[in-house]
């Protein structure tokens, strides 16, 4: 058995061991649906949910191998089954009625006034 904070760090779900420990203390790590302390034991077959505050999403993984030391990315990915749902596709960017060419410099006073009117909703 391995500590959950050590395993999360070893499989590269947390950038540092101290951040993995802090995440567990804050309740961002769950084992089989239960909130886990940093010293909680992780076993093969456990479902571990790690909420990543950086990208604001929850990673759901099933433990396939126990690791105590940090390993390379290919070995780390082989140590778990990733069940995280795929991100929804990004919506296409809707062009605004007032588009400026890239690299055209700073907006003129007229451009700025048009942008202010657009942001305030006068064009709606």
Strand, helix or coil for residue 118: helix
Domain range list for the chain: 2-82, 95-124
- pLDDT value for 101: 77
Phi-psi region of 122 (alpha: psi -120 to 50; beta: other; left: phi over 0): alpha
Residue 51 phi, psi dihedral angles, 5° rounding: -85, 120
- Out of 3.30.1490.190, 3.40.50.2300, 3.40.220.10, 3.10.290.10, which CATH number does the structure's domain 2-82 have? 3.10.290.10
**pLDDT digit string (tens) for the chain, length 124 residues:** 899 999 999 999 999 999 999 999 999 999 999 999 999 999 999 999 999 888 889 999 999 999 999 999 999 999 999 999 998 898 887 666 666 677 888 888 998 898 888 888 776 5
Q: Do 6 and 15 meet the contact criterion of CB atoms below 8 Å apart? A: no
> What is the DSSP code string of 106-121?
S--HHHHHHHHHHHHT
């Amino acid at each position: 058995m391995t500590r959950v904070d050590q395993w999360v760090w070893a499989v590269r779900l947390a950038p540092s061991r101290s951040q993995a420990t802090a995440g567990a203390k804050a309740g961002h790590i769950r084992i089989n649906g239960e909130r886990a302390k940093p010293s909680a034991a992780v076993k093969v077959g456990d479902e571990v949910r790690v909420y990543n505050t950086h990208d604001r999403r929850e990673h759901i993984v099933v433990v396939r191998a126990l690791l105590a030391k940090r390993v390379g990315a290919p070995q780390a990915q082989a140590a778990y089954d990733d069940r995280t749902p795929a991100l929804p596709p990004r919506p296409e960017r809707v062009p605004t009625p007032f588009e400026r060419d890239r690299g055209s410099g700073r907006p003129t006073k007229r451009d700025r006034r048009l942008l202010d009117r657009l942001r305030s909703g006068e064009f709606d």
